[in-house]
Chain A
Amino acid sequence: DAKTTQPPSMDCAEGRAANLPCNHSTISGNEYVYWYRQIHSQGPQYIIHGLKNNETNEMASLIITEDRKSSTLILPHATLRDTAVYYCIVRVAGDDKIIFGKGTRLHILP
C-alpha cells in the first residue's frame, strides 16, 4: 500500500503556481520523498526528490515540512502541458521498489 495521501484532483489556472500537497505522516528517517507525474498515454516522469531540505530544479520546487510528515510540490508557472496525474512517493534509499498510489489529477485551466 502507498504510504502517502494526496487529494484526488486539483485545478490551477494557467500561468499561476500549482501547489500539490502530500501527507506522509508515517515516513521514517531514511525515507526520501519523490514526485513523479504521468501525462496521458505516457510513462511516469521523474520530477524531483528530497530528504529533509527543500529542493528546486528546472521543473519544480519541493517543500518538506520540518517534521517531514508532509510536503508540497510547486510548479511555479503552470502551463497546459503540466496537466497530468502527480504521484507523491516515499522510498528508502537503495530500495528499488516504488509503490505508486492514486496520485492527484492536476487540471490546468486556460
Chain B
Amino acid sequence: DTAVSQTPKYLVTQMGNDKSIKCEQNLGHDTMYWYKQDSKKFLKIMFSYNNKELIINETVPNRFSPKSPDKAHLNLHINSLELGDSAVYFCASSQETGVQPQHFGDGTRLSIL
C-alpha cells in the first residue's frame, strides 16, 4: 500500500487556469506538508498542516491555497496559474512531535503552457 499518494502524477495546463493536486496519507500521521522542486532541483517547503491547522506558510503567493478536510488529506489548489509555477510538487507527512522523519509522495509534475 502506498503510504503517501498524490494525484495526478502529471498535470499539463494553460496559463491562467485553476487546478488542484490531491494528497492522502495512510500512515496515521498528524502533520502534512507541501514542497516545491523547481527546474534546478531545489526542494523547498511551502506549507505544513498539523491536525488540519496551518503551521508553516513559507511566503507562498496567495494564489496557492492548501486545504485539509481531515488529517489524512492535504490538497493544494492553485489559482491563475503562471509559467513560474511549473515544477514538481511533493506532498509529505510525519508524526506530530519529536524527531520523526517525513515520508514523501512521488510528486506531481505540473507543466504550464
A residues adjacent to B (C-beta < 8 A): 32, 34, 36, 38, 41-46, 49, 85, 91, 93-94, 96-100, 102
Contact = CB atoms under 8 A, between A and B. Distances in A.
Contacts, number: 52
A44 B104 contact: yes
Contacts of A98: 45, 102
Task: Give the secondary structure class of B's interface.
Answer: strand
Contact of B99 (A32, A85, A99): A32
- Chain B interface extent, by class: 20 to 34
Interface of B: 4, 31, 33, 41-45, 48, 50, 55-56, 58, 90, 92, 94, 97-99, 101-107
Task: Give the secondary structure class of A's interface.
Answer: loop
A43 B42 contact: no
B101 A96 contact: no
